[in-house]
A and B are shown apart, each in its own frame.
Chain A
């Protein structure tokens, strides 16, 4: 395994994007940073810029207005990049399926590597999902 792959899987930098979510998934993602769940012990940091990130964590049912931004942020991430869909809304639209402004799931716009179901998923589930993704990608 090359040193770059080793570094990448040992400390993934995350960026979080809220594509029109109700915030429950988002606060669980932030709660994963806090002392009880502490995602930083895996070397994962929550960064602000897509240019610095390896993994994009997306929540939300994608209202029409935001779909271009979602694609744009994805395009700005340097390869190799991974996308994690957190919560039922990001997977399929959740409760908001068939609402007139909701695009029902992010995999219509960007390729998704991991799906974490839940409404919202607990921080432990989010960590579990991210770690599984890295294990499957790194080795």
Chain B
């Protein structure tokens, strides 16, 4: 490493994103040369804990793996356990699971859009988007009683039903979100302040993304079609009409476009579900004492952040023998490193926020000047101020 290169640790406390993770950046002047992610600040020992709890108790742990994509985790968990046990869930339950999953995708993408706007420096858009997100949170609260961790899927179906008297009102709310998101897409693609800080920033090409096995909107913004809902449909996605959103930009603008367009597709799916949902039972009985026959199953789900896998192995008891969860952000860490390399320090917050990470990144940034043996700290606000001044030059 030459004399001009320094290592900057960032993390694990960071106001930009709400989870702890630490990165060590090797920089040369203003340019990032290399990045080493250090994860594990959020490691709670969930997989081990699941081995000593029954299948019904594990529903509540899988929900809390991540509070933003909790329903995706539950859908994958119940899907894999039902496959091992040979349980077939009723059609109405499948439609309800899709409904809640798409609502969750809406709330997660709108959350991200607001956070990304905040990172770019566009706080007005942040407040507008989060105000619209409240419409989705209200819908979720009406359906399940909670704004996060809704516990709708259970083994054998879903726990709560949808009341079709509400559908006309919900249709109007979904239309509101659709119109407002179209407006935000127009703003994002024409507003010069956003374009300056998003075009070309954090670029990664299609072949690199395929090589590093990226997933979710991060891969789709670089031209890789990888939506599990289209490639390997589960629940009733093969009967619904929606597009597979893939763009070629590869940079932060691509991230914005993919997620905003997916919001529009989710609105379409919600309306179709409300139109097509069949009558019927919502679950088949499954008690916590039920044993599940031995076997294994891997279940893939498209969470808001990407491809999520739950793999379960049963040995004939009422507790899982082994349950493996791989959340989508781990698949995107390697491509994150490639995005950051060659960029400026000032772009670090927006590229980090751009991949929609699901771990906390903390704020403490320590600059260590090896030559002069001096240390000083920058907070996130100071970094943002630095970035604004940098862009004004």
Which chain A residue has the least Cβ–Cβ distance from B18? A26
Which chain A residue has the least Cβ–Cβ distance from B381? A48
- For the complex, is B185 an interface residue (Cβ under 8 Å from A)? no
Please encode chain A, from 7 to 51, with 1 for each CB lying within 8 Å of some chain B CB and 0 for all others: 000000001111111111111101100111000000000111100
Contact A99–B48 (Cβ < 8 Å): yes
- For the complex, is B379 an interface residue (Cβ under 8 Å from A)? yes
Contact A95–B363 (Cβ < 8 Å): no
- For the complex, is B322 an interface residue (Cβ under 8 Å from A)? no
Contacts of A99 in B (CB 8 A): 44-46, 48-49
- For the complex, is B67 an interface residue (Cβ under 8 Å from A)? yes
Contact B131–A34 (Cβ < 8 Å): yes
Which chain B residue has the least Cβ–Cβ distance from A34? B130
Task: List residues of B (113-144) whose CB comes within 8 Å of A's CBs.
Answer: 127, 130-131, 133-134, 137
Interface of A is mostly: mixed
Question: Which of A15, A19, A30 makes the CB contact (< 8 A) with B20?
Answer: A19
Which one of B66, B131, B360, B363 has the highest number of Cβ atoms from chain A below 10 Å of its Cβ? B360
Inter-chain CA distance A10–B171, complex, in Å, is: 43
Given the known interface contacts A34-B134, A35-B131, the answer about A24 and B20 at a Cβ–Cβ threshold of 8 Å is no
Inter-chain CA distance A34–B117, complex, in Å, is: 14
Given the known interface contacts A34-B134, A48-B379, the answer about A27 and B148 at a Cβ–Cβ threshold of 8 Å is yes
Given the known interface contacts A48-B380, A95-B60, A95-B61, the answer about A24 and B42 at a Cβ–Cβ threshold of 8 Å is no
Inter-chain CA distance A19–B24, complex, in Å, is: 20
- For the complex, is A65 an interface residue (Cβ under 8 Å from B)? yes
Smallest Cβ distance from B58 to chain A, in angstroms? Answer: 10
Contacts of B68 in A (CB 8 A): 23-24, 27
Contact A101–B43 (Cβ < 8 Å): yes
Given the known interface contacts A65-B40, A66-B12, the answer about A30 and B18 at a Cβ–Cβ threshold of 8 Å is yes
Contact A120–B67 (Cβ < 8 Å): yes
- For the complex, is B65 an interface residue (Cβ under 8 Å from A)? yes
Smallest Cβ distance from A120 to chain B, in angstroms? Answer: 5
Contacts of B61 in A (CB 8 A): 95-96
Contacts of B18 in A (CB 8 A): 16, 18, 23, 26-27, 30
Contact A96–B12 (Cβ < 8 Å): no
Inter-chain CA distance A27–B68, complex, in Å, is: 8
Task: List residues of B (11-45) whose CB comes within 8 Å of A's CBs.
Answer: 12-13, 15, 18-20, 40-45
Contacts of B15 in A (CB 8 A): 15-16, 46-48
- For the complex, is B149 an interface residue (Cβ under 8 Å from A)? yes
Can you list 10 contacts pairing A with B, beta carbon distance less than 8 Å? A24-B148, A25-B67, A30-B18, A48-B381, A63-B40, A66-B12, A66-B41, A99-B45, A99-B46, A100-B49
Given contacts A20-B41, A21-B67, A22-B65, 15 further A-B contacts (CB under 8 A): A22-B70, A26-B67, A27-B18, A28-B147, A31-B137, A35-B130, A36-B134, A47-B381, A48-B379, A66-B12, A69-B13, A94-B64, A99-B45, A119-B149, A120-B148
